[in-house]
């Protein structure tokens, strides 16, 4: 795969709910085979952005394409693995049954389905709890199962909304190791986060505040251009420079 090829492209995307402007003229270009971070506090528009990218919501203005195909498009569904901020699980089913259900929706079956289920259960350290109902899981375990479902079909594009919230540091490190491997294999990964040290692990990132993109680039470029010493200081600097205040 061509590493420099644009995978996700947002051009002049805006979105309002009633009189509240949630996204304001968003431009993003995300290339294939990297980890792109969307960094900002709760309520800044990160989740709305990823929902528009996945086709769950429609933009009021602007366009979104994935691999040159305009969103929404049903043909893109099999390319995308999506982990929402809130866990979309069947709580009366076990983790294994949840994975079987979603795997069949993705078109997986037989030995391939079993192989992928075994892989994601091991990756998320859920093997010994695979037959327990999801409703009895802790919050962190539910996040791990949601991430396992997103990874199940080995997607070309992986969109993760606050994926490691509630996950312990050891497993978080393991997840990031796997994300880097996936990106190196050509998978396009978009992660939303409010955590500075996670944003620093991304190949590129966009800082977001009150529905505006206030800075873009590699973590090093963003910090260097701000004349500060950290992503946290850079975020404060760009917010003041752009005149963007939190709502």
- Classify residue 247: in a domain, yes or no: no
- Classify residue 1: in a domain, yes or no: no
Range of the domain at 68: 6-242
Token pair recorded at residue 73: 């498009």
- Per-residue pLDDT, 50: 95
Q: What is the CATH number of the domain that holds 151?
A: 3.40.50.300
- Per-residue pLDDT, 63: 95
Residue with tokens 């969109």: 159
- Per-residue pLDDT, 79: 87
- Per-residue pLDDT, 244: 67
Number of domains in the chain: 1
CB-based contacts of 243: which residues, under 8 Å, 6+ apart? none
103: left (phi > 0), else alpha (psi -120 to 50), else beta? alpha
- Classify residue 22: in a domain, yes or no: yes
In angstroms, what CA-CA distances link 154 with 24, 34, 186, 236? 33, 15, 11, 37
- Per-residue pLDDT, 247: 46
- Classify residue 49: in a domain, yes or no: yes
- Per-residue pLDDT, 245: 56
Q: Is 159 in contact with 190 (CB distance < 8 Å)?
A: yes
- Per-residue pLDDT, 16: 96
The pairing of strands 204-209 and 35-39 is: parallel
- Per-residue pLDDT, 246: 52
In angstroms, what CA-CA distances link 40 with 15, 26, 98, 109, 236? 17, 14, 31, 39, 11
Which residues in the chain come in under a pLDDT of 50? 1-4, 247
Using DSSP, state whether 81 is helix, strand or coil.
Answer: strand
Bridge partners for 206 per DSSP? 38, 216
- Interaxial angle between packed helices 110-123 and 139-151, expressed in degrees from 0 to 180 and rounded to the nearest 10: 140
Q: Which of 213, 234, 246 shows the shortest CA–CA distance to 13? A: 213
């Amino acid at each position: 795969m061509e590493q420099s090829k644009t995978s996700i492209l947002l051009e002049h995307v805006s979105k309002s709910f009633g009189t509240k402007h949630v996204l304001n003229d968003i431009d993003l270009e995300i290339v294939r085979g990297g980890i792109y971070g969307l960094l900002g506090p709760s309520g800044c528009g990160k989740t709305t952005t990823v929902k528009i990218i996945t086709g769950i919501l429609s933009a009021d203005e602007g366009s979104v394409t994935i691999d040159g195909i305009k969103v929404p498009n049903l043909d893109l569904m099999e390319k995308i693995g999506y982990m929402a901020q809130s866990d979309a699980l069947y709580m009366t089913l076990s983790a294994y049954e949840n994975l079987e259900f979603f795997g069949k929706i993705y078109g997986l079956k037989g030995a391939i389905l079993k192989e992928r289920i075994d892989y994601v259960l091991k990756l998320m350290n859920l093997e010994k709890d695979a037959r327990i109902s999801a409703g009895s899981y802790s919050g962190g375990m539910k996040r791990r199962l949601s991430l396992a479902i997103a990874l199940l079909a080995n997607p070309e594009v992986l969109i993760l909304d606050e994926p490691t919230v509630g996950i312990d540091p050891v497993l978080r490190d393991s997840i990031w190791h796997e994300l880097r491997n996936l990106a190196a294999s050509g998978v396009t990964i978009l992660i939303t986060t409010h955590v500075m040290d996670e944003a620093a692990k991304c190949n590129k990132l966009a800082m977001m505040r009150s529905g505006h993109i206030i800075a873009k680039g590699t973590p090093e470029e963003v910090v260097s251009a701000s004349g500060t010493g950290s992503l946290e200081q850079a975020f404060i600097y760009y917010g003041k420079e752009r005149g963007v205040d939190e709502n």
